[in-house]
Amino acid sequence: MNLLITLPVVVAGVIYLIRKQREYTWGWVKNNSSLKDKVFIITGANCGLGFQTAKALAKRGATVVLACRDLIKANEAIANIKLEVTDAKLTALPLDLEVFDSIKSFCRDISREFPQFDCIINNAGLSIKTPFETDEGIEVHVAANHLGHFLMVNLLLDLIKKNNARVVIVSSNLHEKGKINLENFWKLVDTKHPKQLYANSKLMNSYFAKELYKKGIDVHVCSPGLCYTDLYRDYNIKFYHLIAFSPVILLFLRSAEQGAQSIIYCATDNENDEEKNPNNSYIVRDLRQSKSKIKLDDDISDKLWKESMRLCKLD
C-alpha cells in the first residue's frame, strides 16, 4: 500500500524536477531595457509565438505592428495585450502571405505608415494536413512559410537597408529534415507527407537567411523548439494523442511564452559576429547559437533565391 502511494509520488517528483531543469536550460530573456522609439513588425502575431513576442516587446515600450491575415483576430490580440500593457503601442495591418497582392499592399502600408522600422520578424507559419496549391499555383507551405516572406522582405529591402533594420526568421529544428527539389519545389507533388512539406519550407527559411546575409542584411534565424500553440490545428489532435505523447509533452513541450524567448532574443539581443556565428550558418536555439546538422549548399542557396525571384516576378 505504501509503495502504491510512494512510487507515483516519487515518479511525479522526478518528472517535475527534470521538467524544471529543462525549462532552466531553455532560458528566458533577461534584458529588460527600454525599446521606446523602436518599431517591430511581426507576421502572424494574432496567436501563438507571434502574440507572445508582440506582448513582450510592447511591455518594453516598443511600437509593434501585427501583420495578420485576419484583422478581427489581430484586433482581439491587441485588446488582450492591452489588458496587461495598458499603454501598449500596437497597430494591426492586413497581410496574407499566400496572396501576392496582399503582400504588395502590406508593403505599401508599411512604406507609408512605418517607414522607419527597426526589425521585421518573419514568424507566421502553418503546417497543414491536406496541403493545396494557392491561387498563384504555389504549394501552401512554400507560399506561407517561405515565398510570402521572401516577397515581403524583398519589397521592403530598400527600407531595411536604409533603416539598418534586423530581419528575424522563425525556422524550426525540422529544417534539418528538409529537402529541396529545385525543379519543382513550389508545386504540390506529394500530398501524402505534409510534414515533409513543412520541413522543406523551413529549410527554405535557412537558405533565405543565408542569401540575405550575403547581401549584408542583419539576419537572425531561430528555432523556438516544440511549443504549445495552434500550429498543428489542422491535424485535429485528440486528448488520447496527448496521453500517448505525454512523456514527450512533459519533457519537450514549451509554453508559447517560453518558445517566444528565442524570437525575442534574436530581435533584441543576439549579435551575429563571425566568431560566434561563422558565415551566419548557425541557428539560435535556447538563446544560444547552435550548429545545424545540415550544411547549407551554396549552389542550392543561389538557385533557390533565383527561382523564388522568378516565382514572385521580381526579376
CA distance 272 to 282: 9
Q: Looking at beta carbons only, is 56 or 126 nearer to ligand NAP?
A: 126
Q: Find the shortest distance in angstroms from Cβ 159 to ligand NAP.
A: 20
Q: Find the shortest distance in angstroms from Cβ 305 to ligand NAP.
A: 20
CA distance 197 to 35: 37
Q: Looking at beta carbons only, is 37 or 135 nearer to ligand NAP?
A: 135
Q: Looking at beta carbons only, is 172 or 301 nearer to ligand NAP?
A: 172
Given the residues 198, 207, 213, 265, select the one marked as catalytic. 198
CA distance 287 to 271: 11
Q: Looking at beta carbons only, is 194 or 224 nearer to ligand NAP?
A: 224
Residue 198 appears among annotated catalytic residues: yes
Q: Find the shortest distance in angstroms from Cβ 298 to ligand NAP.
A: 25
What Rg, from alpha-carbon coordinates, does the chain have?
20
Cα–Cα separations (whole angstroms), residue 100 to 104, 107, 138, 185: 6, 11, 11, 18
Q: Find the shortest distance in angstroms from Cβ 304 to ligand NAP.
A: 18
Q: Looking at beta carbons only, is 47 or 209 nearer to ligand NAP?
A: 47
Q: Looking at beta carbons only, is 70 or 302 nearer to ligand NAP?
A: 70
Query: Which cell numbers in the block locate residue 81?
Result: 495585450
Interface contacts to ligand NAP, rule CB under 6 A: 43-44, 46-50, 68-70, 73, 95-98, 123-126, 144, 170, 172, 223-224, 226-227, 229-231
Q: Find the shortest distance in angstroms from Cβ 129 to ligand NAP.
A: 13
Q: Find the shortest distance in angstroms from Cβ 11 to ligand NAP.
A: 26
Measured over the CA atoms of residue 220, residue 225, residue 230 and residue 231, the dihedral's sign is positive
CA distance 259 to 261: 5
Q: Which residues are catalytic, by number?
A: 198
